[in-house]
Chain A
């Protein structure tokens, strides 16, 4: 069993970091501590400030306020070529006029390492990224999308950085290749023991690879935690909705229960409901809504659409003027179009507004 993440010493720390462009705050008051050897993913919609954040960490932008610490040492003023970090760019930024090997060995060349050793070390890194040594002399422009991805990874590994950064490098690839590379990336991280910081807008990608996830919104970190925590106990409605479509019932507190006006019925609050709750939204994920003809207090509705989502089936149910989403594993479709739905209060999330 590896040591729990938070007990390890932090390698990178951000303290009150702001980045302001004109009168727009791209990143605002970010505090974050990343542990040695961790796979940390920053997730957020486009424009949430995640790229700006990573550029400050790598040293391509300077923070307007706040401090960035590497093992306790302030590195705000250290330029990118002096930080022990390396980035895999979204565009990959491979040097088009060089071969695969020259790309991978470039950082070694910059450090004045001899030709023979360069070739040896670059070949090792190619192997680590699952590329055969025969690719060394191939033109980088002749490589396929997935191969380019691996070259970029090998190039970053050859630099032997303490922290590797990834700026959505997989977003341009097709689904299957992306899935393969996600797993390989996780394996490489485990093998090398290096700290990986990854940014993506795909929560699915984040869930697969990360030790911890930081969800960003409007330049702030909305929540930081393990994938389980973030999924099961989202701290805001935004985080809960970021994981995909959800059912949101507008509710008000009434006699210790939650009254939902559009459905004209009451629900039991979740066990950890915030004290003094007045009104807000009760969130239930589609997979937590069940067809339940025997329910004591069912939500009554009518199925009007169903979609096959691979192994699962999603139903759209019209109830009290709203549309509800129900997901099942298939197999037990409702017998009639008129259905009764229920959920366990423990599976619901309550957010005040």
Chain B
């Protein structure tokens, strides 16, 4: 028999079933213990480097140490020396890629959802697999395909006598390359989102007289929205750092912010400027991810029982 003074705390503890029962107060929770190695890794390998970048961005031009007095001159330089152009290009390309991928991936996600489980798995594997090939190689492949005398041009010339010339070295091909590279990052979150739409809800809507468009607008889209938001954020943020596409397919027709950052660190030998540009990217990416993800309940999205 328990007396009353014991009953109250016991019932409070039982409201959180997954905690170890009655452990001594000084021991850290199992959750924290499990999280510790990961937190250490991300503290040392993610937060600390970002902090260093932020500090460097306030050092005078061309310094390689952190001991000088802080200054804003690097941020002023970005605009004064027109480095913001590459930054704007990157934002524009990232937005374009995100929007195009939403349109490209939605029908894909819908039709994968309708496949039998084994076929859906096959397609998932087929779509994941290219992710494991370095993007350089895949972009080189497109270059071989689209260049003058490449697979497309040469193939057409040999068969029907038409010539496309070189289809690389322009802005659309850069966007195409980005859409190609980042497709899985939009598709998989979208599939996760669509999995949260119960088929019965769509049937019920249809039964209640909703047209296809009404079913899409009122049921499918709002219920799949969390997955869509994650996909859009992921693509936007990652493609903000893209530079291989403009290098290998654009052949230098535009310069992205990542290229500017890289050259500031290498040829330019101006770490503070590279850092200041990085900080802009980090702030933009961080803000997008933070505000986007804060609203989502990740526990229920990933299928917590």
A110 lies within 8 A of chain B by Cβ: yes
A91 to B198, CA, bound (A): 10
Q: Judge whether A81 and B206 touch: CB under 8 Å.
A: yes
Q: Does A89 contact B (CB under 8 A)?
A: yes
How many residues of B are counted as interface, with CB atoms below 8 angstroms from the partner's CB atoms?
A: 17
Decide if B211 is an interface residue (CB 8 Å cutoff).
yes
**B210:A81 contact, CB within 8 angstroms:** yes
Bound CA–CA A110/B206 (angstroms) = 10
B222 nearest CB neighbor, chain A only: A97
Which positions 122-175 of chain B face chain A at CB distance < 8 Å? none
Instruction: Give A12 to B223 CA distance when docked, in angstroms.
Output: 35
Give A79-96 interface residues, CB cut-off 8 Å to B: 79-81, 85-87, 89, 91, 93-96
Please, which residues of chain A bring their CB within 8 A of the CB of B206? 60, 79-81
Cβ–Cβ contact A110 & B207, under 8 A: no
Q: What are the residues of chain A within 8 A of B99 when measuring CB–CB?
A: none
Are A106 and B222 in touch, CB under 8 angstroms?
Answer: no
Cβ–Cβ contact A81 & B207, under 8 A = yes
* A106 x B200 contact (CB < 8 A): no
Given the known inter-chain contacts A80-B206, A106-B218, please indicate yes or no for A93 contacting B201, CB distance below 8 A. Answer: yes
On whether the beta carbons of B200 and A91 are closer than 8 Å, the reply is: yes
Chain A residues in 8 Å Cβ range of B218 = 95, 106, 109
Asked if residues A85 and B207 are in contact (CB atoms below 8 Å), the reply is yes
Q: Which residues of B contact A93 (CB under 8 A)?
A: 198, 200-201, 203-204
Is the CB of A166 closer than 8 A to any CB of chain B?
no
Of the candidates A85, A110, A155, the one whose C-beta lies within 8 Å of that of B210 is A110
How far is the CB of A172 from the nearest CB of chain B, in Å?
Answer: 14
Is A198 positioned at the interface, with any CB of B under 8 Å from its CB? no
Query: Which A residue's beta carbon lies closest to that of B204?
Result: A93
Partner pick for B223 among A79, A91, A97, A109, CB 8 A cutoff: A97
Q: Does B209 contact A (CB under 8 A)?
A: yes
Residues of the B chain whose Cβ atoms lie less than 8 Å from the Cβ of A97:
222-223
Secondary structure at the B interface, as helix, strand, loop or mixed, is: helix
Interface of chain B residues 192 through 224 with chain A (CB within 8 A)? 198, 200-201, 203-211, 214, 218-219, 222-223
Cβ A80 vs Cβ B207 within 8 A: yes
A96 vs B224: C-alpha distance when bound (angstroms)? 12
Q: Chain B residues with Cβ under 8 A from A79's Cβ?
A: 206
Q: Which residues of B contact A86 (CB under 8 A)?
A: 207-208
Which chain B positions have C-beta within 8 A of A136?
none
Q: How large is the interface on A (under 10, 10 to 19, 20 to 34, 35 or more residues)?
A: 20 to 34
Partner of A110, one of B198, B201, B209, B223: B209
A111 interface residue (CB < 8 Å to B): yes
Judge whether B207 and A106 touch: CB under 8 Å: no
For the complex, give the distance between the alpha carbons of A85 and B205 in Å: 12
- Is there an interface contact between B207 and A58, defined as CB atoms closer than 8 Å? yes
Q: Which residues of A contact B201 (CB under 8 A)?
A: 93-96
Bound complex: CA of A200 vs CA of B210, how far in Å? 27
B residues near A110, Cβ cutoff 8 Å: 205, 208-211, 214
Most buried by A among B200, B204, B207, B223: B207
Q: Is A107 an interface residue (CB 8 A)?
A: yes
A159 at interface (Cβ–Cβ under 8 A)?
Answer: yes
CA distance A108 to B204 in the complex (A): 14
How far apart are the CA atoms of A18 and B219 in the complex, in Å? 32
The complex places the Cα of A85 from the Cα of B200 at a distance, in Å, of 16
* A107 and B200 contacting across the interface, CB-CB below 8 Å: no
Contact in complex: A96, B223 (CB < 8 Å): yes
Given the complex of chains A and B, what is the CA–CA distance between A190 and B198 in angstroms?
32
In A143-173, the 8 Å CB interface with B consists of 155, 159
Closest A residue by C-beta to B203: A60
Q: Distance (Å) between the CB of A62 and the closest chain B CB?
A: 14
Q: What A residues does B222 contact at CB under 8 A? A: 97
| With A81-B209, A110-B211 as contacts: A89 and B223 at CB distance below 8 Å | no
Once the chains are docked, how many angstroms separate the CA of A107 from the CA of B219?
13
Contacts of A91 in B (CB 8 A): 198, 200
User: What's the Cα separation between A246 and B211 when bound, in Å?
Assistant: 50
Name the distance in Å between B100's Cβ and chain A's nearest Cβ: 27
- A95-B207 contact given A89-B200, A110-B214, CB 8 Å threshold: no
Least CB distance from A140 to B in Å reads 11
The smallest C-beta distance from A323 to any residue of chain B, in angstroms, reads 42
Inter-chain contact B219/A95, CB cutoff 8 Å = yes
Residues in A neighbouring B214, C-beta threshold 8 A: 110
A105-156 contacts to B, CB under 8 A, are 106-107, 109-111, 155
Nearest neighbor of B202 in chain A, beta-carbon distance? A93
Among B203, B209, B211, B219, the residue within 8 A (CB) of A159 is B209
| Alpha-carbon distance A221/B223, docked complex (angstroms) | 39
Q: How far is the CA of A109 from the CA of B198 in the complex (A)?
A: 21
Please tell me which one of the listed residues B204, B209, B210, B211 contacts residue A89 in the complex, with CB atoms under 8 A apart: B204
Are B203 and A107 in contact, CB atoms less than 8 angstroms apart? no
- The reply to whether A111 and B209 form a contact with Cβ atoms under 8 Å apart is yes
B295 to chain A, nearest CB (A): 13
Residues of A within 8 Å of B211, CB to CB, are 81, 110
Residues A87 and B204 in contact, CB atoms below 8 Å apart: yes
| CA A167 to CA B222, docked complex, whole Å | 26
Most interface-central of A86, A93, A106, A109 (chain B CB within 10 A)? A93
Contact at A106–B203, with CB atoms within 8 Å?
Answer: no
Q: Which residues in chain A, 28-59, are within 8 Å of chain B measured between CB atoms?
A: 58-59
Question: Who on chain A is nearest to B199 by CB?
Answer: A93
Asked whether A87 and B198 contact (CB < 8 A) given A95-B219, A97-B222, A110-B214, the answer is no
Neighbouring A residues of B203 by C-beta, 8 Å: 60, 80, 89, 93
List of 3 A-B pairs having minimum Cβ-Cβ separation, nearest first: A93-B200, A107-B208, A93-B204
Could you write out 18 A-B pairs with CB less than 8 Å apart? A79-B206, A81-B206, A81-B207, A81-B208, A81-B211, A85-B207, A86-B207, A87-B207, A89-B203, A91-B198, A95-B204, A95-B205, A97-B222, A106-B218, A110-B208, A110-B209, A111-B209, A159-B208
